[in-house]
Structure 1
Amino acid sequence: MYEPNDSSSAPQPISGIHACQVLMACDELNPTLEFLRSTLGLRIDAIFPADNPSTAMLSGHGLSIRLGVGLANGVKELRVLCDDPYQLPAGARELVAPNGVRIRLEASDPPILQPETVQELVLSNLDEETHWNVGRAGLRYRDLLPARHGGAFIASHIRILEGGPVPDYTHFHKVRFQTIFCRKGWVRVVYEGQGEPFEMHAGDCVLQPPTIRHRVLASSAGAEVVELSSPAEHITVVDHEMLLPTTATHPVRDFNGQRFVRHVAKSAGWEPWRIAGFEASDTGIGAATAGVGGVRVIRPAGEANSRTQTHNTELCFFYVLSGRLEVVVEGDRYTLTSDASVTIPGNTRYAFDRYSEDLQLIEITLPDKFLIGD
């Protein structure tokens, strides 16, 4: 008997498979057979016995059905993916076949649903009691925004424990905004239209514009990244056809209003930041998204300035890369050290008060530009 954790006795792939068939029961064959044929456009592949048919096999749209009189444990519902079922009245998006099976019409390319942002002050510190979820491909996920700002955002600190090849596949995400910052080690990735695979090292980051195909190829042991996406729940779609790298390169191609960005830390420039006493390395993501979101690395430069300020942004997220920082929010003081993060809601009074000379922060804001007040 095969045991799930026993790799030595794992079942071998079955060859010669032509289709996978689902069972569907009915009391009378012809009414449901005609419904599936005329309404859903399925074709009849076989029907028997000839003198008094009780079973039919149908196929179409990637589905194979064995429809039979008196079958047990047949499907009770089918989801039919259509171009735009939302143009139909709500009552027309669900049909009932003569055998009682429900047919639900859903979009094959569902739109991005962007929940209304619900802001709150969120602090996350890394310590011995920090919980890490085991995610896809054995990656460890630390949740930096548990309430998701009402579902509008997700922020994760991700660890790759074992180095080497990554069992990934060509895919893309349906998102409004998505950025990945390499925290430690290196990760080798490849992107549609962006040339040969490249390595992201600590301090590098990318903007993954909506629908750009990409794939993670390999990583160093112990590599870490910080990822922020909007909305929190978004669809990942596998592309079975595209091979990466692509033969053609399109470095400035528009992907749903955004351009791919690869920011390399070792060649970055620095300019004064919006808070006096600091300077920022702008990744160029603000320009590439036409202002949807911005990403910068912040460090002290000159005399400290602890002036209180507010902003009207939808998201203002800081992640400590190194050093120590004290943040005063509405009169309450919080100490942040390496790998801590803070998300400050709009129209909230805050100040950077005391910090070490080796302080470095990631700043991620949506939108890229916003109003600032004292």
Structure 2
Amino acid sequence: MPTRRAYAQSAVSTTDMPDLSTLDVLDLSDAMSEYQALGWSVLTIRPADDPYEAVVRSPHGETVCLRRTPIVISRLGDNGDGHTGRASMIYRDLIPGRWDGRFVASHIAVPDGGEVPDDVHHHEVDFQFLAVRSGWVDVLYEGQGDVIRMQPGDIVLQPPGIRHRVLATSPGFDIVELGCPADHLTTFDHEMTLPNGTYGDHLWGGQRFVFSSPGNFAEAWDHPGFSSDDSGISAATNGIVDVRRVQTSDRVDTFPLTPHDFRFLFVMDGDINVIVSDGTTHHLESGDSIALPQAAQAQVTQGATNATLLDVLVPQTAAS
């Protein structure tokens, strides 16, 4: 039976089970059958038509919430050209189902480039960041002075509530955006004009703004021989989320990824192989991504070419 973990906040809101622990599982039906075979009883499921959550009780009265958290793979071109979202940008959903509202990840494109019809706005989020894959984008951020031009490899952490406005992009521009929770409010600010000077050291929702360009990839990564650089986002969010750029090497050994309750890999260029708990190997190429729960027990190995990856890690207290 899988190891259980107690989260800071339970996925089930109930006053009569305040110490309920939550276990993420890849297949809820299989997990329920496994527990029932051990004598556990199913107390509740949610929702009835397509359950993603079940509360089970042992013969000794222990209760556990089982939560379906699948491996999600998105391949460039699999779901068409995406849909038109905010400010006429084209959005491709990288985590359909959004892990029941916990995370949203989008691959955003502006094929023709030019001015973006955007207004000053902000997002009510736990965290949100963006990483440029190709082209450039000009953005204004509250308290950050004049226009910031983001180019390939650049990453920005947008703290909760920071006002910002997208001005223009190059043709062929695309960017990866990931945030928590998936369903969050975007509010337009018709009073603030940007740019509005420089704030210096400032916190928004307890987080600092980060603008990070690729470094020298001197940090070790999970796979020996692969390297990473520190975006500074972990420190800026007090450990809520960590975002790293990773460069692969010619080593073809297979090594396990350090488990986190949410781990997301996006292939910026090149290709890699990811092997999950059932032995299936997923070959990921440029523009592809994979969202991994801890239960995936994923391993990674080098692909046919060296790759640059975007690696996102969220500890269990933030993912619950």
The TM tier, using the shorter chain, reads 0.7 to 0.9
Alignment of 1:270-309 (within 5 A): 270-301=218-249, 303-309=251-257
Task: Identify which of 309, 327, 331 aligns with 2:274.
Answer: 327
Q: Are the counterparts in 1 of residues 267 and 284 from structure 2 also a CA contact under 8 Å?
A: yes
Query: Who is 2:210 aligned against?
Result: 261
Query: Who is 1:168 aligned against?
Result: 118
Q: Are the counterparts in 2 of residues 297 and 362 from structure 1 also a CA contact under 8 Å?
A: yes
**What is the Cα deviation at residue 186 of structure 1?**
0.4
> Which whole-Å CA distance do the structure 2 matches of 1:368 and 1:135 have between them?
30
**What is the Cα deviation at residue 163 of structure 1?**
1.9
> Which ranges of structure 2 fall in alignment gaps of 5 or more residues?
1-64
**What is the Cα deviation at residue 323 of structure 1?**
1.1
> Which ranges of structure 1 fall in alignment gaps of 5 or more residues?
1-115
Alignment of 1:175-194 (within 5 A): 175-194=125-144
**What is the Cα deviation at residue 269 of structure 1?**
4.4
Alignment of 1:329-368 (within 5 A): 329-330=276-277, 331-367=279-315
> Which whole-Å CA distance do the structure 1 matches of 2:161 and 2:68 have between them?
26
Identity of aligned residues (%): 40
Query: Who is 1:223 aligned against?
Result: 173
**What is the Cα deviation at residue 230 of structure 1?**
0.6
Higher CA-based Rg: 1
**What is the Cα deviation at residue 268 of structure 1?**
4.8
Amino acid in structure 2 at the alignment position of 1:343: A
Please give the root-mean-square deviation of Cα atoms over the aligned residues, in Å.
2.3
**What is the Cα deviation at residue 148 of structure 1?**
0.2
**What is the Cα deviation at residue 258 of structure 1?**
0.5
Corresponding pairs, count: 253
Deviations 1:122-142 (A, max 9, x none): 111113763411222321111
More deviation in 201-210 or 313-322?
Answer: 313-322
Evaluate the alpha carbon distance shift between residue 205 and residue 141 of structure 1 in structure 2; reply closer, same or farther with a 3 A threshold.
same
> Which whole-Å CA distance do the structure 2 matches of 1:251 and 1:364 have between them?
27
**What is the Cα deviation at residue 367 of structure 1?**
3.0
Q: Are the counterparts in 1 of residues 222 and 256 from structure 2 also a CA contact under 8 Å?
A: no
> Which whole-Å CA distance do the structure 2 matches of 1:340 and 1:309 have between them?
18
Q: Are the counterparts in 2 of residues 286 and 368 from structure 1 also a CA contact under 8 Å?
A: no
Q: Are the counterparts in 1 of residues 275 and 299 from structure 2 also a CA contact under 8 Å?
A: yes
**What is the Cα deviation at residue 315 of structure 1?**
1.3
Q: Report runs of 4+ in structure 1 exceeding 6 Å deviation.
A: none
What's the TM-score once normalised by structure 2's chain length?
0.74
Provide the secondary structure at the position in 2 that maps to 1:339: coil
Provide the secondary structure at the position in 1 that maps to 2:117: coil
> Which whole-Å CA distance do the structure 2 matches of 1:136 and 1:307 have between them?
39
> Which whole-Å CA distance do the structure 2 matches of 1:245 and 1:368 have between them?
37
What's the TM-score once normalised by structure 1's chain length?
0.64
Provide the secondary structure at the position in 1 that maps to 2:294: coil
More deviation in 352-361 or 171-180?
Answer: 352-361
Greater relative contact order: 1 or 2 (C-alpha under 8 angstroms, separation 6 or more)?
2
Provide the secondary structure at the position in 2 that maps to 1:262: strand
